Amino acid sequence: MIVPKTYDLIILGAGPAGLTAGLYGSRAGLKTIVLDPKNPGGQMLLTDDIYNYPGHPDGITGQKLADLFLKQAQKYGCEVLNRAGSVQLAQKDDHFIITARDAAYQSDAVIVATGCSPRRLGAAGEKKFSGAGVSYCAVCDANFFEDLEVVVIGGGDSALEEAAYLSRLCKHVHIIHRRNQFRASDACQCLVRNLKNVSVIWDTVVEKFQGDDLLESVHLSKTDGSKKWDLNVNGAFIYVGQIANTAFLPDSVDIDPAGWIITNEKLETSVRGLYAAGDVRQKDV
Active site residues: 137, 140-141
Bigger pLDDT: 60 or 49? Answer: 60
**CB-based contact 11:33 (threshold 8 Å):** yes
Quickly state the pLDDT bin for 19 (edges 50, 70, 90). Answer: very high
Express each pLDDT in 218-268 by its tens digit: 999 999 999 999 999 999 999 999 999 999 999 999 999 999 999 999 999
* pLDDT for res 191: 94
pLDDT-above-70 percentage for the chain: 99
Task: Report how far residue 10's alpha carbon sits from residue 36's, in angstroms, rounded to the nearest whole number.
Answer: 11
Express each pLDDT in 139-193 by its tens digit: 889 999 999 999 999 999 999 999 999 999 999 999 999 999 999 999 999 999 9
Q: Is the pLDDT of residue 114 over 80?
A: yes
Quickly state the pLDDT bin for 23 (edges 50, 70, 90). Answer: very high
Which of 4-13, 51-60, 85-94 has the highest mean predicted lDDT (pLDDT)?
4-13
* pLDDT for res 261: 97
Strand 215-222 with 95-100, pairing: unpaired
Express each pLDDT in 64-74 by its tens digit: 999 999 999 99
Q: Rounded mean pLDDT of the chain?
A: 94
**CB-based contact 73:48 (threshold 8 Å):** no
- Least confident among 16-30, 32-46, 103-117: 32-46
* pLDDT for res 228: 97
| DSSP secondary structure code for residue 230 in this structure | E
Non-local (6+) Cβ contacts of 276 within 8 A are 111, 112, 113, 261, 263, 267, 269
Query: What global pTM score does this model have?
Result: 0.83
